[in-house]
């Protein structure tokens, strides 16, 4: 990553996105910070001391507004070099209990919102013949696990979309980096939706004991600079990293292990 690049981060008001903002600022980037809560974005902007920051609130579930946001970024900074699709919500509910509206909500925020912002930014990157999309997927984007059907589906869908986009635009100077974090200590499980769409309001044990968001951001920025196509980030040794290896080489064993995690 070169100093002076314009980096647009969604979900910048908390967790991984917040630490990415601080990390990219330290690397000399100019930042566009987006999420729904302007006051939290202002707090994060204040942590990015020395960087030029544009706070641009958006709701990933209201993608009709995105076409209008891109000209505002271009008017302010002149270009968009990198978009970090980080904003998202998780889930903690069984398929048999989960309302259809919850499935739709998670797909709207995690998948359709991300697709819509990509569509809005892509023309400016094609015209500039350069750019990079960074997508914060998850180990759940590779492995389906209990209580996270919609979340896993939304993250798996991102891999399909962005693998296709990568193939379409590689020759135009545009790259795609898929990031698959393991358990990271953030608000993700507190904000995760239950069967009726209300948040859990509690931090699960795996997340409470997760890898730090700050160290995760450092690993992500290294992968982005190296223009990796897909990378795991998080604890070097952990069950989620093991799961990725097993999915590839021992899928049957992984299937049985994941089944044993299912609530009885
Ligand atoms: N923590 C983990 O263990 C883990 C593991 C794998 C992947 N991830 C992924 O990492 C990303 C960041 O999550 P996190 O762990 O940092 O959790 P977090 O602390 O809950 O942060 C989520 C961010 O997404 C934003 N967001 C949520 N709904 C939104 C909406 N409708 N429109 C715009 N922004 C929205 C939130 O901001 P507002 O509330 O202000 O809108 C917040 O900034 C997510 O995509 C998550 O799936 C996390």
On whether the pTM is more than 0.85, the answer is yes
Q: Whose CA is nearest to atom 25 of ligand 1?
A: 11
CA dist., res. 47 & res. 49, Å (int): 6
Other C-beta atoms lying within 10 Å of the C-beta of residue 43: 13
pLDDT > 70 in the chain, percent: 100
What DSSP state is assigned to residue 148?
Answer: B
Residue of 11, 42, 139, 243 with the most ligand 1 atoms within 8 Å of its CB, for mutation = 11
pLDDT on residue 1: 66
- Give me the catalytic one of 111, 151, 183, 232: 151
DSSP string covering 184-200, please? EESSHHHH-B-TTS-B-
Q: Ligand 1 pocket test: which of 22, 35, 159 has the largest number of ligand atoms within 8 Å of its C-beta?
A: 35
Q: Is the pLDDT of residue 147 over 80?
A: yes
Q: Is the CB of 42 under 6 A from ligand 1?
A: no
Tell me whether residue 183 is one of the annotated catalytic residues: no
State which of 33, 44, 87 you would mutate to test the pocket of ligand 1, scoring each by most atoms of that ligand within 8 A of its C-beta.
87
For range 96-113, the mean pLDDT: 98
CA 136–ligand 1 middle distance (angstroms): 9
| Span from the CA of 188 to the centroid of ligand 1 (angstroms) | 6
Q: Does any ligand 1 atom lie closer than 6 A to the CB of residue 192?
A: no
Confidence of residue 2 (pLDDT cuts 50, 70, 90): confident
Q: Is 216 in the pocket of ligand 1 (CB under 6 A)?
A: no
Name the residue ranges covered by the structural domains of the chain: 6-261
Please say whether the beta carbons of 106 and 149 come within 8 A.
no
Considering only the top CATH level, what class is 6-261? alpha beta
Rounded distance from Cα 31 to ligand 1 centre (Å): 18
pLDDT one-digit tens code per residue, 57-80: 999 999 999 999 999 999 999 999
pLDDT tens across 232-262, in order? Answer: 999 988 899 999 999 999 999 999 999 998 8
For the chain, what is the mean pLDDT? 97
Give me the pLDDT at residue 264, please: 72
Task: Kindly tell me if the per-residue pLDDT of 263 is higher than 90.
Answer: no
Please give the pLDDT value at position 5: 97
Q: Could you give the strand order of the β-sheet that contains 230-233, starting from the edge strand earlier in sequence?
A: 53-55, 30-34, 6-10, 82-85, 131-136, 174-181, 230-233
Q: Is the pLDDT of residue 229 over 70?
A: yes
Residue minimizing CA distance to atom 46 of ligand 1: 88
């Amino acid at each position: 990553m070169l100093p002076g690049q314009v980096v647009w981060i969604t979900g910048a008001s908390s967790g991984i996105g917040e630490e990415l903002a601080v990390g990219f600022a330290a690397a000399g980037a100019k930042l566009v910070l987006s999420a729904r809560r302007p006051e939290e974005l202002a707090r994060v902007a204040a942590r990015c001391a020395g960087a030029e920051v544009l706070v641009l609130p958006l709701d990933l579930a209201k993608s009709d507004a995105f076409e209008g946001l891109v000209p505002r970024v271009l008017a302010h900074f002149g270009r968009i070099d990198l978009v970090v699709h980080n904003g998202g919500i998780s889930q903690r509910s069984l398929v048999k209990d989960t309302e259809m509206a919850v499935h739709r909500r998670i797909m709207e925020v995690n998948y359709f919102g991300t697709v819509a912002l990509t569509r809005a930014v892509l023309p400016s990157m094609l015209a500039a013949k350069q750019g990079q999309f960074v997508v914060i997927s998850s180990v759940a984007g590779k492995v389906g696990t209990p209580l996270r059907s919609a979340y896993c589906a939304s993250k798996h869908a991102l891999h399909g979309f962005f693998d296709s986009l990568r193939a379409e635009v590689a020759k135009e100077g545009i790259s795609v980096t898929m990031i698959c974090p393991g358990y990271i200590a953030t608000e993700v499980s507190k904000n995760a939706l239950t069967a009726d769409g209300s948040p859990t309001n509690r931090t699960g044990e795996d997340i409470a004991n997760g890898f730090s968001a700050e160290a995760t951001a450092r690993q992500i920025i290294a992968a982005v600079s190296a223009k990796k196509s897909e990378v795991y980030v998080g604890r070097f040794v952990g069950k989620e990293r093991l799961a990725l290896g097993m999915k590839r080489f021992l899928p049957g064993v992984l299937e049985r292990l994941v089944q044993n995690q299912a609530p009885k």
